[in-house]
Amino acid sequence: MNPTNKNSSKSSAPPYAKILVDEKVDRAVYGMLVVKGWPESEKEDGLGEVRLRAVRAFHRGVVPPATVDEMKAFCAKIARDLAIDRARKKRLEHKWCVGPCENPDEYASPQPSGEQRDPVDAGRQLEVAAELFREGRMPEHGAGILEGLACKCTHAEVGEDLGLTARAVEGRMRTMRRLFRRRIVHRGME
């Protein structure tokens, strides 16, 4: 076996790998996590998650940064978003979670009331939604998003079918709800 071929087979790591694990990048990630309230005891987990998300982005087609400074900025942005997502999740959990308890059945999750909407109101609301679609006010793929979510699909599943990210589906759904609410209020239906 030729020694040069042996060495070339060992260099299977992608070119961005060395920059991604650079000490300066790690410090930038740790700094951002701390600034955004990440617990000090979990900073290694945070660094690992940032690296994983960066590699996933590169595999999806994002061009890897070519310098350490560019990688620092890229990973700091990921760390910022990660910390913000974690804080949102904690706030929501704090709102609904009562923590460990002896009889968890006493604390059932909120359920729909089961009260049916008035058929006349439901018909008016459907007409408002149809009107918004006819006017072209609803986001692109809005009908497909509504259909997918009505079928109990997740945002990711709907996005995959429509060629969108789960976050894009969620954002477009928020936009549709906002437009719908405004039109309903404007018509005096609430």
Q: What are the tens digits of pLDDT across the range 79-91? A: 999 998 888 888 8
> Per-residue pLDDT tens for 103-118?
767 766 666 666 676 7
Q: Decide: helix, strand or coil at residue 115.
A: coil
- Mean pLDDT score across all residues of the chain: 84
* Amino acid 79: pLDDT: 95
Residue 114 DSSP symbol: -
Question: What tokens does 135 get?
Answer: 């006017």
* Amino acid 8: pLDDT: 46
> Per-residue pLDDT tens for 162-175?
888 999 999 999 99
Q: Is the domain of 124 the same as that of 93? A: no
Q: Is the domain of 85 the same as that of 138? A: no
Q: What pTM value is reported for the model?
A: 0.50
CA distance 5 to 13: 16
Q: Is the domain of 89 the same as that of 25? A: yes
The parent domain of residue 176 ranges over 119-187
* Amino acid 55: pLDDT: 94
183 vs 29 pLDDT, higher one? 29
CA distance 39 to 44: 10
* Amino acid 113: pLDDT: 65
- Domain termination site, one of 49, 65, 98: 98
* Amino acid 112: pLDDT: 64
Asked, for residue 110, whether it belongs to a domain, the answer is: no
Q: Is the domain of 93 the same as that of 124? A: no
Domain count across the chain: 2
Question: What tokens does 32 get?
Answer: 């951002």
Beta carbons within 8 Å of 176's beta carbon, 6+ residues apart:
132, 138, 139, 142, 145, 146
For range 146-174, the mean pLDDT: 88
* Amino acid 9: pLDDT: 46
CA distance 98 to 109: 11
For range 140-168, the mean pLDDT: 87
Q: Is the domain of 27 the same as that of 93? A: yes
9 vs 173 pLDDT, higher one? 173
For 58, counting Cβ atoms within 10 Å of its Cβ (0-12 exposed, 13-18 middle, 19+ buried), the class is middle
> Which helix (H) or strand (E) element contains residue 186?
helix 166-187
